[in-house]
Amino acid sequence: MSFPSLTIGDLFLPMAIIQGGMGVGISLSGLASAVAASGGLGVISAAGIGMNEPDFASNYIEANNRALTREIRAVRAKTAGALGINIMVAMANFAELVKTAIRENVDVIFSGAGLPLDLPSHLTEGSKTKLVPIVSSARAAIILCRKWLSRFGRTPDGFVVEGPMAGGHLGFKAEHIDDPAFILENLVSEVLTGLAPYTAPNGLPIPVIAAGGVYTGADIHRFITLGAAGVQMGTRFVATDECDADERFKQSYIDAREEDLMIIKSPVGMPGRAIRNDFLKSAAHGDKKPPSCPYRCILSCDHQKAPYCITLALANAQKGRLKYGFAFAGKNAWRVDRIMPVAELFNELATQYAQAEAAAI
């Protein structure tokens, strides 16, 4: 069995699997530490991470920084494995969270929901934190390489290429989500071609990680064969014992049918994929109007017109209160039929990978 490893700069992962960062509160220290201990890259999502802090609404930036610091240190106390933080560019406190992550010496910062044009400016002298943008096109990857080279004299340490089968907010126009031209295989190939003239800061090819709809070990084998250096998976890790979400949130994945996965228009101005429920049905009918915006957390959110506060909705869902929120999920979430330990999931994926590798010989 030869499951691939992944190297990003001087960071070595025994298993070429990155756990997707899932907010609000779905991937915290519990899930991230289990993934890191299994040889993958565990990822904490910084989105709404301070939701349980008493001053979350009144002292938003400090509350989130405090919670992020605590979660990072909780992972470090449990495992020496690799840790990443997912920080969305669209977040109003993006810069503060990036500085906190770098100060805490996280291994990787993943950043999407916009182009992180200024991300390298936050690196401190001697910092070993790797910078890995999340993109949905070769054009975005090339722009970032050019801009970073021009302004900072360096390129990204890697790229996550996220396709339209992903859960949560999607970096595509609504009409492109089901367009065969935008399948992940095409996007990965296009990004690999676009990045050919560039090298990573260590002088080697820039690692490209495939994300969005990767579900089985056979899927992983397919993308590795295509030229990806590794994969990112989110949905599979929700259905684990160590996932930080309430058991009712996880059960919503098990209960979901294929037709329950739907595209919504998020208050932040992007399409997103979620599991259909009564909350979303009511929102679609205009029945959910927040009295005020408590956080101003997403720059692109038009809170005066928003049918609901997405941070509150996702926080409620994370706590299992799905009557007052909803679960983001990837297109393959309906395939989930049980909850398992993270270590068992890794073993299953490795076995499936080996089977696909043997079949390809």
Is the residue at 169 inside a domain? yes
How many folded domains does the chain comprise? 2
Contact 101, 129 (CB under 8 A): yes
Band the pLDDT of 331: cuts 50, 70, 90.
very high
Most confident of 42-51, 171-180, 217-226, 284-293: 217-226
pLDDT at residue number 174: 84
Is the residue at 86 inside a domain? yes
pLDDT at residue number 172: 83
Band the pLDDT of 252: cuts 50, 70, 90.
very high
Amino acid at 249: F
Q: What is the residue-averaged pLDDT of the chain?
A: 93
Range of the domain at 290: 247-324
pLDDT at residue number 301: 58
Starting at the earlier edge strand, list the strands of the sheet with 168-169. 168-169, 271-275, 261-265
pLDDT at residue number 159: 98
240 and 253 belong to one structural domain:
no
Mean pLDDT for 21-47 is 96
212 and 147 belong to one structural domain:
yes
Hey, which residues does 259 pair with through a beta bridge?
Answer: none
pLDDT at residue number 123: 96
153 and 38 belong to one structural domain:
yes
Q: Residue 303 pLDDT > 70, yes or no?
A: no
228 and 352 belong to one structural domain:
yes
Is the residue at 330 inside a domain? no
pLDDT at residue number 311: 83
CA distance 128 to 242: 28
Band the pLDDT of 232: cuts 50, 70, 90.
very high
pLDDT at residue number 262: 95
28 and 116 belong to one structural domain:
yes
The better pLDDT of the pair 288, 198 is held by 198
In our burial notation (b when 16+ CB lie closer than 10 A, e otherwise), range 180-194 reads eebebeebbbbbbeb
Q: Residue 292 pLDDT > 60, yes or no?
A: no
168 and 255 belong to one structural domain:
no
Is the residue at 308 inside a domain? yes
Is the residue at 220 inside a domain? yes
User: How far is Cα of residue 60 from the mean position of the Cα atoms in its chain?
Assistant: 22
pLDDT at residue number 105: 97
pLDDT at residue number 310: 83
CA distance 279 to 218: 35
Backbone angles phi, psi at 205, to 5 degrees: -55, 145
Cβ atoms < 10 Å from Cβ of 22: 29
Band the pLDDT of 267: cuts 50, 70, 90.
confident
Is the residue at 72 inside a domain? yes
pLDDT at residue number 215: 98
CA distance 220 to 231: 7
Band the pLDDT of 93: cuts 50, 70, 90.
confident
pTM for this structure? 0.93
Question: 184-195 and 138-152 helices cross at what angle (nearest 10)?
Answer: 30
Mean pLDDT for 50-76 is 91
127 and 206 belong to one structural domain:
yes
Question: What angle (nearest 5°) sits at the alpha carbon of residue 11, between those of residues 171 and 189?
Answer: 40
pLDDT tens by residue, 128-162 = 999 999 999 999 999 999 999 999 999 999 999 99
pLDDT at residue number 91: 82
112 and 21 belong to one structural domain:
yes
26 and 121 belong to one structural domain:
yes
CATH of the domain at 239: 3.20.20.70
Is the residue at 1 inside a domain? no
Mean pLDDT for 317-334 is 96
Band the pLDDT of 291: cuts 50, 70, 90.
low
Contact 226, 4 (CB under 8 A): no
CA distance 302 to 305: 6
pLDDT tens by residue, 162-211 = 999 999 988 888 888 988 889 999 999 999 999 999 999 999 999 999 99
Low-confidence winner among 236-240, 290-294, 304-308 (lowest mean pLDDT): 290-294
Q: Residue 40 pLDDT > 60, yes or no?
A: yes
SS (H, E, C) the chain: CCCCCEEECCEEECCCEEECCCCCCCCCHHHHHHHHHCCCEEEEECCCCCCCCCCCCCCHHHHHHHHHHHHHHHHHHHCCCEEEEECCCCECCHHHHHHHHHHCCCCEEEECCCCCCCHHHHCCCCCCCEEEEEECCHHHHHHHHHHHHHHHCCCCCCEEEECCCCCEECCCCHHHCCCHHHCHHHHHHHHHHHHCCCCCCCCCCCCEEEECCCCCHHHHHHHHHHCCCEEEECHHHHCECCCCCCHHHHHHHHHCCHHHEEEEECCCCCEEEEECCHHHHHHHCCCCCCCCCCCCCECCCCCCCCCCCHHHHHHHHHCCCHHHCCCECCCCHHHCCCCECHHHHHHHHHHHHHHHHHHHC
234 and 308 belong to one structural domain:
no
Band the pLDDT of 308: cuts 50, 70, 90.
confident
**Rg value, the chain, Cα:** 19
Q: Residue 304 pLDDT > 70, yes or no?
A: no
Q: Residue 223 corresponds to which tokens in the numbers above?
A: 């993308």
| Torsion over CA: 15, 21, 22, 27 (sign) | positive
Which position has the token pair 């938003």?
A: 60
